[in-house]
Structure 1
Amino acid sequence: MTPRTISLIAITVATLPAWGAPAADDTAMLRLANGSGCMTCHHIEPGAKGPDGLAPIGPAWRDVATRYRGSPGAADQLTRTVMTGSNPYSSHWKGKVSGLAMPPNEVAIKEADAHQLVEWILKLEAAK
């Protein structure tokens, strides 16, 4: 593990709720997300706006969790989006993030790992 990866994990863990140390599952999922490049476009917490007034590239995962929690088939749908990418012409995040579409990630992450990460994201609490 490179020093940069360790720093990214430490910074990301610091953004988790202050109710104690992250669970082993949190650490494993953050390591997977960092190693797969997810954190290049996404953050856990909704963050500061970019120069164009929009959120950085992709939606914050707490926002994703809020939007999809309880939706039937959400984990499967989001896993497909991670693997195959999204359509910039029908993006429901348009106007809310600076990126137009999610690129396909099948070379960056295995589908089973993506599904596990999506399940973890959907369990995140809403931003406060």
Structure 2
Amino acid sequence: MFRHSTLAALLACSLITPAAMADAKLDTDMKKLALSSGCTTCHGIEKDKPGPDGLKPIGPAWIDVAAQYRGKPGATEFLTRVVQEGSNPYSSHWKNRVSGIAMPPNAVAISLADTRQLVSWILSLK
């Protein structure tokens, strides 16, 4: 009996570990991509990360972006377009929550494919 439960526990751990390792590698890869593309100049992952000189953060935390857009139809395409083309400073729903007024266009800093991958990862954050 003991052998069966130990074997089952080891088997369960061996099934979980590769997925956890894949998630950790994806997290590391996406953080590197964000850093090399300049995204982390304005954005952080966690909530309430202060901006320069203790001001509100420049851009919204990705955890907040995920909460705002996760599960909404077309969210990946919309956010990919915002990253690539920039946002309208007159229609920002982050007003009074961040110190930046708009996202600048980033097509010169990050490819469309990389943007889509990064946005998908951001939307998966919990």
Which residue is equivalent to 2:106? 105
| Residue identity (%) | 64
2:67 aligned partner: 66
Q: For structure 2, list consecutive stretches of 5 or more residues without a partner in the other structure.
A: 1-19
Letter in 2 for 1:42: H
> In the alignment, residue 76 of structure 2 is paired with which amino acid?
A
Q: Which protein has the larger Cα radius of gyration, Structure 1 or Structure 2?
A: 2
Distance 1:48 1:81 in 2: 22
5+ unaligned residues in a row in structure 1: which ranges? 1-18
Cα 1:47–1:72 change in 2 (3 A) is same
SS of structure 2 residue aligned to 1:23? helix
Mapped contact 1:76–1:115 kept (Cα < 8 A): yes
Question: Aligned equivalents of 1:51 and 1:24: distance in 2?
Answer: 29
Superposition misfits of 4+ residues, deviation over 2 angstroms: 47-55
For 2:52 and 2:110, how far apart are their aligned partners in 1?
30
Alpha-carbon shift at residue 23 of structure 1 (Å): 1.1
TM-superposed deviation, 1:93: 0.6
Aligned residues: 107
Change (3 A) 1:26 1:48: closer
- Local SS of the residue matching 2:98: coil
Distance 1:32 1:109, change over 3 A: same
Deviations 1:13-70 (A, max 9, x none): xxxxxx99x6111111011000000000000001244589863100000000000011
- Residue 39 of structure 2 corresponds to 38
Deviation at 1:76, TM superposition (A): 0.3
The aligned residue for residue 96 of structure 1 is 97
| 1:122 lines up with 2:123 in the alignment | yes
Give the letter aligned to residue 90 of structure 2: Y
1:12 maps to what in 2? none
TM-score w.r.t. the length of structure 1 is: 0.77
